[in-house]
Structure 1
């Protein structure tokens, strides 16, 4: 008997294993982020400065306990110098506009640093940079005052030149251009002549060779442009020699020479002037020349 598919009894499904519902994950509590460090970060330069000050204080404590001249004392002293060299470079940077090699300025400032180390007393409670800076700057200023300038400038003019430079920078910033001499003089309440003198004094650090060719303009050196050959210069020595020899002649022979070579008179005119013969005038002139030649040590 054929059973229709539609009338076939349904097959029972195998019981499925019951799968438990996944448990709900507990809610994660928000973990608070660590609070940012509110302390400002110390710049490396300031940190190095603090380290240098601490090292300097420690080395001075050791130096105090050592006897001068011993190898250990020299070692600690050298460490102090090396640790404080940045102080010298900082002071030397103030003189960068002087057109002097910075190595020379640092070397001079190091001499001031050594003097400050030898005189410093840590028991007085003063920081070493505060004590050493005036000594270092003073040594550098003394170097510029005594060794760098080609022409010595009075102290008052040098101090005024520093004020003129400062006023020039301030007025340049304020006006946006280079100030005039009158504006600088009005700012400092001094005369324009003093301002010009200060400017000239500022140029005395380096001398320019008169024979050096001018750069850029293709012109000859200052010596060729400012000087000239005086045609009468060669006669200066001769005139002085003749003046010295003439005073050794008798008065009448001096007059004859003056009439002949300064008044341009002939021998006939001289004879008429003096009331003597022309031959006698000629003999007197010849005798005068002979005396002059014999007294002239150069020709002799």
Structure 2
């Protein structure tokens, strides 16, 4: 694999220099190299957000994530910085969006109503309900239901990250799936592996197309438009399927938690 060169210096060498000296000049070279990554992640997150959330704000939030990633990155873990940074940038943006509570109360209420109806139908049918069954139970046409999913799409972008929790005050970032377990005590390693397996099992319960969308969006970092081209559907349809996938996943994980604590 060709080594990445930053300002005429191999990246690995640049990281070794920065980890040793923590000098501002080296840090600035790394920032300049990866600044476009912030705009890339902000662009992905911005899809479906209301106009009240400006793109420049998302970039500003993400920049703090990039700086945090630079300070905490350990090249000895043998993880690409880009992979690590994307998670930190996205996390920083999501943290700020949660803090400003930008989602209208009416949208939150509609999301809860659909979640409750899906849980009821799953118990009634003993399987995940179809979109048509959910729409009928909500006294909506299929078109009305699809439009509602589009309105809820911006809330679902945050939901998958919120689901990856190991405790009330600790989250399990996606990057933890590739970081070395040596930094944890044996009991912590076992707990995290168990949680990751629960999430993997839950994703595997989803319909194939919805599962593919989650993998392509969260793990392969494709945009909704790119996923639509790959699956030969419209971007809006991908957004609808993404929202449905997150709702299903949230219900599966919620049921699993109740089963564990019940």
Structure label with greater radius of gyration: 1
Superposed pair shares fold, TM > 0.5: no
Q: TM-score scaled to structure 2, two decimals?
A: 0.39
Q: TM-score scaled to structure 1, two decimals?
A: 0.35
